[in-house]
Amino acid sequence: MLGAFFDDSGTHAKASLVVIGGLLGSDVQWDKFAVAWDARLAAPLPGMPPLSHFHLSECRAGDGQFDKYKQAEKDRITYLFRQIIFASGLVSVACAFDLIAWKEIVGKRKYIQDALPSPLEMCLAKCIDLVVAYARANKNGEQVIVFVDQGTRKRLESWVKVYKLQAEQYPELVSVIFAPVPRVVALQGADMIATESYQYGVKWLQHGAKTIANPHFQEYLQRDLSVGLVFGREQITEAVGLLKKKLRKSM
């Protein structure tokens, strides 16, 4: 059995893109991950008190549990948690959606907004597609349980029900479950992927192919076990165009 854990980033009002990112692995890999993650939470750095959980944006900002951390210490603890992901052999998965292009192309046309999945729903759909494709190509179609941050439940629950109606198309997908990030260490790992992907994506929207990833995210980009995509202007234009064509035929 495979487990895929996903968190979101960029859902605040002024975000230029929204991201869902996470990690995929076997039961054995997740067990290894959990033991190492819990041990690091208990003893993060010499002289520092235990952490109740690890939240990357909180760490970067030096808030909460990290208010006494200097920059070098924040970089060090981020590195140590990232190495747990790598050592466990987990696959990182992410999808980013260009909200600026969405607003420009769709605008306030409610009939389009109502007919298409929301950007967050599209991100989840693409991530699930990537997970299923990976399972088919590399794990002989092994079954997958998907876990998503429960903070997204109201926005994603109706879309999750769509998958339950497509069991024949997604036989590998056992279920999609919402769970709390602070209590589930696997979702804390997913938070790292979502946050890193969001911060890189913001720069990518500005600089495109010339974007230089920070050293932390660069390690993910260089891994063979990283898969992801960007739902950008071209894909949004295509989706809206197909919808308009479908609506014209139905008239």
One-letter identity of residue 198: Y
- Report the distance separating Cα 142 and Cα 108, nearest Å: 42
Tens-place pLDDT, residues 88-100: 999 999 999 999 9
Tens-place pLDDT, residues 25-77: 999 999 999 999 999 999 999 999 999 999 999 999 999 999 999 999 999 99
Tens-place pLDDT, residues 157-185: 988 888 878 878 889 999 999 999 888 99
Provide the pLDDT for residue 94. Answer: 96
pTM over 0.75: yes
Q: Which residues pair with 20 in a beta bridge?
A: 8, 95
12 pLDDT higher than 90: no
Q: Above pLDDT 90, what percent of the chain?
A: 71
The whole-chain average pLDDT of the chain stands at 92
Give the range of the structural domain holding residue 222, as residue numbers without chain letter: 2-250
CATH number, domain containing residue 154: 3.30.420.10
Residue 138 confidence class, pLDDT cut points 50, 70, 90:
very high
Contact predicate 4/59, CB 8 Å? no
Provide the pLDDT for residue 38. Answer: 97
Provide the pLDDT for residue 30. Answer: 97
Q: Which residue shows structure tokens 């029900």?
A: 161
Residue 251 confidence class, pLDDT cut points 50, 70, 90:
low
Q: Above pLDDT 70, what percent of the chain?
A: 99
Q: How many domains would you assign to the chain?
A: 1
194 pLDDT higher than 70: yes
Comparing CA positions, the residue from 204, 185, 199, 197 lying closest to residue 61 is 199
